[in-house]
Structures are given as C-alpha cells and as structure tokens.
Amino acid sequence: MNKKLILSLLLPIFVAACSSPSLDEPEIVLDVPATKSFVGVVNKLSVPLNNLDSDYYLLTDSKNRIYLNSIVHNLLDYIDFEVRLRGQIQFSELAGKQIEILNVEQIDIISTPDVKLDSLSYESSEFGVYFNYLSTFELEEFASQLSLSDPNSRQLIKINFIDKTLDSSPTFDSYLESLNLNTPKENFVTNNHRFDLYNTSSDTIKYFIQSNKFILEITYVFLEPTNEGFTAFDEFLNSLKLSDIEIHELPIDTDLLNSDLEPLDDEVIVEKVSDLSDTEGDMITDETPDSSSANVTDFTDGYTVNNEDFTTNVDSDFLSIVNKFESNVVSILDTFQNSISYSFTDNQEFYLIYLDKNDNQKRVLIDYSKEFKIIATFTEGSVSDWDLATGVNIAFDRPLTVLSKQDDQFLPSVSLKEGFRLFESLAMKIQSFYPTDWYYSRQDDVYIFSSDPKTFEPSMLISLMDDSSSKQYSDLSLNESIQVSTNIFVKKLNAGFFKLEFIDDSIDTSYILDSLRDV
C-alpha cells in the first residue's frame, strides 16, 4: 500500500487519540463566587471550632449565624458593631455538613456598641483651653505643650501653643507656611470650632486653630489605626473649647444658620408661597398668575428650577439648605466643584455626591442640625456603591428624600419609603431603591437582586442594554419608561437604556421604576 495513503488513514486516528480526554483526567469547572451583602452584629466565637477557618460570625436580625473571615479587615475591631458586610462566599465543612463562610471585603458601620469609658477633663486658664480625654491616656504638661499618650492603643495627641502676643511672633498664615507641610489643606468642623487639617502622612494628622493669644498646633499620631482610637480622638476634639477664640472661627454665617437652617415653621412657608398659590401646599402650576420664573428663582434662593420640578413646601426647605450649603461649601469641602445629588434623611443630615476639581466623584455625609459638619466620607467601592472611608455612617438605612441634578437643574424629588434602601452604582452611573432585606451582586452589566442570600435566586434584575437591543426604544424621552411584557420594563437615562425584570411580583414595581435615575 502506498505510504502516503497509510499515513493519511492513521493521522485522524492519532489526532483523535491525542485530543480525547483521559478517563482519569478531571473536568475543570471555574466557579466564580458572587458578591453578597449581609447586615447584623459581629461576634467572636467563645470556643474555636475544629477545622473551621473562622473565629467570628455575624448574627443577623433573623438570628442566622454567618461565619466570617477577612484578609482585608481586622474583625476584632468590629466586635458588637452593627454592620453591613460585603464579600464572597467560600465553603467549609462543620460536623459533616457544608457551611458558608463570608470572606469580608467591605465593612459599613451602622451603629457602634454603647461602651462607657472613664474620661477625665482638663482646663487651663493660662492656655484658655478645656477638653475631655479617656482615662487610658497619660497627660503630661510642659511649658508650651500638652501631651496625651496611650501606650496600649499606640496613640499620641500633642498640643503646641505658639504665643501670638510677642513682637517676634508669627501670624497664623506665616506659621503654617514655615512648616512646609506640602499637603492639601482641608477643613474639619466640630461642635465648637473649625480647624485647618493636613494629612501629613499615613499615620499623622495635624489640626490648626487660633485664639486671640495662641496658635494651636494639634498633632494626632495613630500607629495602629482602630475605630475605637479614632472615636476617642473625635471625642477629645469635639470637647475642645477655647475661651478666647477668634470671632470668625465658624465656617458659616451664624445669622444665616439661626434663621434658615433651623426647621422652617409654617408662617415662613406661607409667606414665601403666598404669591404662588392660594392655599398652603397647593401645587404650583402654569395657570397660577404669578408663577413666573423670576418668582421661582426668588422662592428657591437663587436656584432657577422648572415649576413642575418642585411642587411641595418640603422641597423648598431642602433647596434653601442646599443654597446655604453651596454658598459656604469652599470652607467645608475645598475640592468641591459641582453637586450631583443630595439625599436628605429625616434627622437633619444629607448625603452629597459631588465632583471634585479633578472631576472625580466623591460622597460625604453632612450634619446640618447646627452648622455644616462632615460626619463621614466615602470612596468608590470595588464592586459598586460606596465604601466608608472615615467617620461613622450614622444615617444608614434612614428614610431619604433624594434630589438629583440633570442639566444643572434638580429632578423631582423621590422619597425613600420605609423598608427600602438606596442602591448606587458608580460603574453604571445610576441609582435606585430596593428592599432592605434583599442582597445584590453584579455580573458584567447586570445587577442581580435576591431575597435569599443562600441560593441567590433572582428577585429582580437591572441590566444595561447594548446598542442593538435598545435601538427599538430610541423614541423614548429621557427618564421615560415603557412596559414591554408583564414583568419587564425599559427606561431611558443619560447613562443608557436599562431593562428592569421583576421576578418577585410582590414588590412595588412602579416605585422602584420611578426611583431608577442617573447619578
């Protein structure tokens, strides 16, 4: 037989033999775990469990126990804290049964445990200062310096007093220049004073303030950062009072605060809207004789807003606060460029999402009960939403009224109903509401919401549509939605066309659909 013919007959057999998997070779399956979120209180196991790679667990409101570990966070720092945890599930075996362990990647503090710590007070008429500090700190007094140190937590607080009354004394600005800090200045507002803040290194922050007699340089060193340590320092700084403070210490005009930031009474509201409607609370429409743009601009303290955008007295109250805040924003957020949205709680706080001077999105939580004070800051999360960076998120899961901007005008406000939580995706630049007992995970351009953290069976899907799929809905107006089937809706936003699929038919679909908007 021809050798070429023999080779041609054997070659397919050889190739097939080489390409066929061995019977002993296992099939490789890639299992990418979904990111899940849980809310509860962190606890430590009283007795370690054999073969379980976890010393901690989360106890949820429904008394479910979720075992925890983390290579990112020291879970010991969060014992008895109520938190929201986000991470990936891994599996282990306990007593012959497979159990889930949450590998914690993100921690949002909801509330801290009530811990009563012994505190002491210090007062000096020479320096004109008063403050409280924990009894675990050792206080030392020097000629022009105070020192507070805690060897257990490796924290140090130093206060230098620079005399301003001598002929050779520097001014406040010249003293700061002489230090060559080479780091951007920030503002930090406490219950009593406003400080110039400089993050000089990863473990050192300097605070500056002046009284009539002294420049105070407060240095805070934290070699082992802990939430308890930061809380102790915050309590010290909040309690600090200067008896001869400069009269311009506050970042905001106190007359404006007293007149406009306190809850507006009905008489003020009636006086404001008397030209726009016959009855307090009536809707402002184009038929109202005096509903001109000039009146609306005056009504909102400088903001020009479409009449249909704001039709309630509540919105006018919020706009007044927004206007006062943004007129003083440089003293609070010196990198602020433009606001994106405000989310007001029911307790005189608001979340602000804004663009900084480098066009980066930032988020802060502001208290406006007395003056504008930063309570917490956030950074963009690795999956979605925001990660807590500094402070405590005391407004977590409180009712919200959300005001978002579009083309430099605020959209109609949306109120967060009880039982719902705000969802924000920086990746897709959208926000929405979803039930508080749901969890979500992102897979590419789809967010999966589920009421079951174990099976993660979808209860709702929000997905960004590609160009070919959304072409048939191009006639939709901005923020308009259309129902395409019994449980599927499509909505047009600046960020694109989004499909919402509701698998759980027991939820208020119209409420969630209305809440979906651009960030």
Q: Residue 25's pLDDT is what?
A: 52
Same domain, 390 and 498: no
CA angle 355, 360, 365 (to 5 degrees): 55
Whether residue 14 lies inside any domain: the answer is no
| Range list of H helices, 240-355 | 254-256, 266-273, 293-299, 313-327
* DSSP element (H, E) containing 366: strand 361-367
Joined together, the tokens standing for residue 268 give 């003020």
Q: Residue 245's pLDDT is what?
A: 62
User: How far, in Å, CA of 456 to CA of 441, rounded?
Assistant: 9
Q: Which domain holds residue 327?
A: 254-410
Whether residue 12 lies inside any domain: the answer is no
Same domain, 402 and 437: no
Contact 441, 34 (CB under 8 A): yes
Same domain, 267 and 405: yes
Last residue of a domain, one of 221, 242, 263: 242
Q: Residue 50's pLDDT is what?
A: 63
Same domain, 288 and 352: yes
Whether residue 516 lies inside any domain: the answer is no
Last residue of a domain, one of 81, 111, 141: 111
First to last CA, the chain: 76
Contact 423, 440 (CB under 8 A): yes
| Range list of H helices, 257-411 | 266-273, 293-299, 313-327
Same domain, 100 and 127: no
The SS3 call for residue 509 is helix
Tell me the CATH number at 227: 3.40.1000.10
Q: Residue 227's pLDDT is what?
A: 64
Tell me the CATH number at 47: 2.40.50
Same domain, 395 and 325: yes
Report pTM: 0.40
Same domain, 171 and 218: yes
Whether residue 347 lies inside any domain: the answer is yes
Provide the domain count of the chain: 4
Query: Per residue of the chain (519 residues), what is the pLDDT tens digit?
Result: 555 555 555 555 554 555 445 455 555 444 555 678 888 999 988 776 666 778 888 988 777 888 898 888 889 889 888 898 988 888 777 666 777 888 898 888 888 776 566 788 999 988 999 999 988 899 999 889 999 998 777 889 999 999 988 888 899 999 999 999 888 888 787 767 888 889 888 888 999 999 889 999 999 988 776 666 777 888 888 889 888 664 333 343 334 334 444 433 333 323 222 232 333 333 333 333 333 333 222 323 333 233 333 333 446 778 889 989 998 898 899 889 988 889 898 888 999 989 888 888 889 999 998 889 998 888 876 544 677 788 878 887 777 888 877 767 777 777 777 778 888 887 788 888 888 888 887 777 888 888 876 677 889 999 999 988 898 999 999 889 999 888 999 999 988 999 999 998 888 888 899 889 887
pLDDT tens digit sequence for 276-297 = 233 333 333 333 333 333 322 2
Whether residue 217 lies inside any domain: the answer is yes
In this structure, the number of other CB atoms found within 10 A of the CB of residue 315 comes to 19
Q: Residue 9's pLDDT is what?
A: 52
| Range list of H helices, 125-165 | none
- 117 torsion bin: left (phi>0), alpha (psi -120 to 50), beta (else): beta
Largest alpha-carbon pair distance within the chain?
A: 115
Whether residue 166 lies inside any domain: the answer is yes
pLDDT tens digit sequence for 306-337 = 333 333 344 677 888 998 999 889 889 988 99
Same domain, 223 and 140: yes
Same domain, 201 and 260: no
Last residue of a domain, one of 211, 242, 273: 242
Contact 260, 252 (CB under 8 A): no
Torsion of CA 17, 19, 21, 27, to 10 degrees: 180
* Amino acid at the residue 97: K
| Rounded alpha-carbon distances, angstroms, from residue 80 to 57, 83, 470 | 11, 9, 48
